């Protein structure tokens, strides 16, 4: 295994050979400030399907606005907000579309099928024209009982959008959810993650019957897409994933991270509405975008003490991990759906700390598989208590000791491990790392200069 100088997060056991007295532990995000309440006339109690993009320090938020009923048909809006810090969002008065005679609003799309589940991304494909810098997918018009229309859109500024074609780009699915696309630099192609209904075992399946599940498509050009591949998991138990919020981790793009809203249809807490189903958010990871690790079956975000978050279809993670500086990533989650305080709350996550190898007061240890690296130093993302410690040993491929650190204690995103000598002499050679932990967590490692 060649980890070069990449950030290796301990969200799975791909790098781990053995544990003793410690285990992988999911890190729960911290609920922070509420950044938006959907209280404008062109928003509603069912506004949602949120995407957040970091565009060179400009943080762009996109979401579904209100739904109008005209001639017994639904017509919706797509809205846009902006922030410089990820905490304070404003609605620019764009003057693009009017709502009840008011054109000074933040509506960017109106009364088109894409408004239901509009999901944009910044295209990092080298060589694309500037007018196609921003791309998006949206739409869910039914063709028949198994197919619907998912359209592709392009924009030069992220605000003014047009379809890339009058024809849908994908029709193999129902798309009645937040379907997401990206340019995946790991494979040099576009990916689209979409909902499908797993109807295995159903004798006469009907539209929207089955288990809500995730599949992905690949494309060279964003217009022609290959046959989809269903997500595969390392556990047999099937859960319903209403959305997927799949991204490549900023700064560690070889990790695919997904934050599905887990949907439990047969439970109900009828505090505010008689509508059935409750939801929470989960975390899962992948190294190829298809085969997913479900080490952590527990919730990443629980509904919590706010009873309005037990209303159906709540707790939907927005798509996007934002580096808001300092020691944390920011993510966003819906809350109070179907109530007057429906809105978005920020979540704070330790940078590259979605999970850890964790040991308690009694202590523990773990050893990695053999790997090669690039760099003259090792840096660790770790946390200990005041009495805890981390000790790191560099071993050869067979497990013989090469170097050993003193006890390290503290709490740092990436701190250099002092081995007393440069690691250059071991570059390109198969080595292992061994960690001795006491009341400590190791979240990630990286080699570098």
Q: Are residues 421 and 308 in the same domain?
A: no
Strand partners, 157: none
Give the per-residue pLDDT at 14.
Answer: 97
Q: Are residues 302 and 380 in the same domain?
A: no
- For residues 26 and 11, what is the distance between their CA atoms, to the nearest angstrom? 8
Q: Are residues 157 and 223 in the same domain?
A: yes
Q: Are residues 273 and 365 in the same domain?
A: no
Task: Output the CA torsion sign for 195, 123, 87, 380.
Answer: positive
Give the per-residue pLDDT at 74.
Answer: 77
Give the per-residue pLDDT at 105.
Answer: 98
> What's the structural domain count of the chain?
2
Last residue of a domain, one of 350, 378, 404: 350
Q: Are residues 212 and 301 in the same domain?
A: yes
Q: Are residues 151 and 225 in the same domain?
A: yes
pLDDT in tens, the chain (449 residues): 999 999 999 999 999 999 999 999 999 999 999 999 999 999 999 999 999 999 999 999 999 999 887 777 778 999 999 999 999 999 999 999 999 999 999 999 999 999 999 999 999 999 898 889 999 999 999 998 889 999 999 999 999 999 999 999 999 998 999 999 999 999 999 999 999 999 888 888 788 889 999 999 999 999 999 999 999 999 998 999 999 999 999 999 999 999 999 999 999 987 787 888 999 999 999 999 999 999 999 999 999 999 999 999 999 999 999 999 889 999 999 999 999 999 999 999 999 999 999 999 999 999 999 999 999 999 999 999 999 999 999 999 999 999 999 999 999 999 999 999 999 999 889 999 999 999 999 999 999 99
Give the per-residue pLDDT at 395.
Answer: 98
Q: Are residues 374 and 318 in the same domain?
A: no
Give the per-residue pLDDT at 176.
Answer: 92
E-assigned strand segments in 232-336: 232-233, 240-241, 247-249, 252-258, 261-264, 278-281, 284-286, 291-293, 322-323, 328-335
User: How are beta strands 322-323 and 247-249 bridged, if at all?
Assistant: unpaired
Look at residues 249, 278, 246 and name the one whose alpha carbon lies nearest to residue 263.
278
Phi, psi of 5 (to 5 degrees): -115, 25
Domain span at 12: 2-26+355-448
Look at residues 215, 233, 245 and name the one whose alpha carbon lies nearest to residue 320.
245
Last residue of a domain, one of 312, 329, 350: 350
- For residues 324 and 346, what is the distance between their CA atoms, to the nearest angstrom? 11
Q: Are residues 386 and 337 in the same domain?
A: no
Q: Are residues 160 and 266 in the same domain?
A: yes
Instruction: Read off the CATH number of the domain in which 413 is found.
Output: 2.60.120.260
Instruction: Read off the CATH number of the domain in which 37 is found.
Output: 2.120.10.10
Last residue of a domain, one of 331, 350, 369: 350
Give the per-residue pLDDT at 68.
Answer: 80
Longest Cα separation, the chain: 76
Give the per-residue pLDDT at 439.
Answer: 98
Q: Are residues 54 and 15 in the same domain?
A: no
Q: Are residues 324 and 374 in the same domain?
A: no
Q: Are residues 264 and 191 in the same domain?
A: yes
Give the per-residue pLDDT at 272.
Answer: 81
Q: Tell me whether residue 58 is exposed, middle or buried, using C-beta atoms within 10 angstroms of its C-beta: 0 to 12, 13 to 18, 19 or more.
A: exposed
The structure tokens listed for 241 are 């994933």
The structure tokens listed for 41 are 């006339």
Please list the alpha-helical segments (H only) found in 264-322.
none
């Amino acid at each position: 295994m060649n980890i070069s100088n990449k950030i290796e997060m301990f969200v799975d056991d791909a790098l781990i050979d053995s544990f003793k007295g410690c285990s992988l532990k999911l890190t729960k995000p911290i609920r922070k400030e509420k950044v938006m309440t959907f209280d404008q006339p062109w928003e509603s109690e069912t506004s949602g399907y949120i995407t957040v993009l970091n565009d060179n320090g400009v943080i762009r938020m996109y979401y579904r606005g209100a739904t109008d009923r005209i001639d017994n048909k639904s017509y919706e809006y797509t809205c846009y907000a902006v922030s410089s810090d990820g905490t304070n969002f404003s609605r620019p008065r764009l003057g693009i579309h009017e709502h009840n005679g008011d054109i000074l609003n933040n509506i960017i799309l109106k009364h088109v099928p894409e408004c239901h589940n509009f999901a944009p991304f910044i295209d990092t494909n080298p060589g694309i024209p500037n007018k196609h810098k921003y791309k998006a997918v949206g739409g869910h018009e039914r063709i028949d009982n198994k197919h619907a229309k998912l359209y592709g859109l392009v924009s030069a500024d992220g605000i003014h959008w047009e379809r890339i074609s009058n024809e849908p780009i994908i029709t193999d699915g129902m798309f009645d959810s937040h379907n997401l696309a990206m340019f995946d630099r790991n494979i040099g192609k576009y990916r689209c993650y979409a909902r499908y209904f797993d109807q295995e075992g159903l004798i006469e399946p009907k539209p929207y019957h089955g288990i809500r599940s995730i599949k992905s498509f690949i494309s060279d050009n964003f217009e022609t897409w290959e046959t989809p591949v269903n997500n595969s998991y390392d556990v047999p138990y099937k859960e319903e994933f209403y959305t997927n919020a799949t991204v490549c981790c900023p700064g560690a793009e070889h990790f695919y991270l997904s934050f599905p809203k887990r949907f439990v249809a047969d439970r109900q807490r009828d505090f505010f509405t008689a509508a059935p189903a409750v939801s929470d958010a989960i975390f899962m990871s992948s190294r190829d975008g298809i085969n997913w690790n479900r080490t952590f079956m527990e919730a990443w975000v629980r509904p919590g003490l706010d009873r309005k978050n037990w209303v159906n279809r709540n707790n939907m993670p927005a798509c996007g991990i934002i580096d808001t500086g300092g020691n944390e990533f920011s993510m966003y989650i819906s809350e109070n759906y179907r109530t007057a305080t429906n809105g978005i709350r920020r979540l704070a996550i330790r940078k590259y700390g979605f999970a850890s190898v964790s040991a308690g007061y009694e202590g523990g240890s773990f050893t990695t598989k053999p790997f090669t690296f690039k760099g003259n130093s090792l840096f660790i993302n770790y946390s200990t208590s005041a009495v805890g410690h981390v000790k790191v040993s560099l071993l050869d491929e067979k497990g013989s000791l090469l170097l050993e650190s003193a006890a390290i204690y503290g709490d740092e995103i990436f701190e250099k491990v002092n081995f007393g000598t440069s690691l250059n002499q071991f570059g390109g050679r198969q080595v292992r790392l061994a960690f001795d932990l006491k009341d400590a967590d190791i979240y990630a490692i990286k080699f570098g200069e």
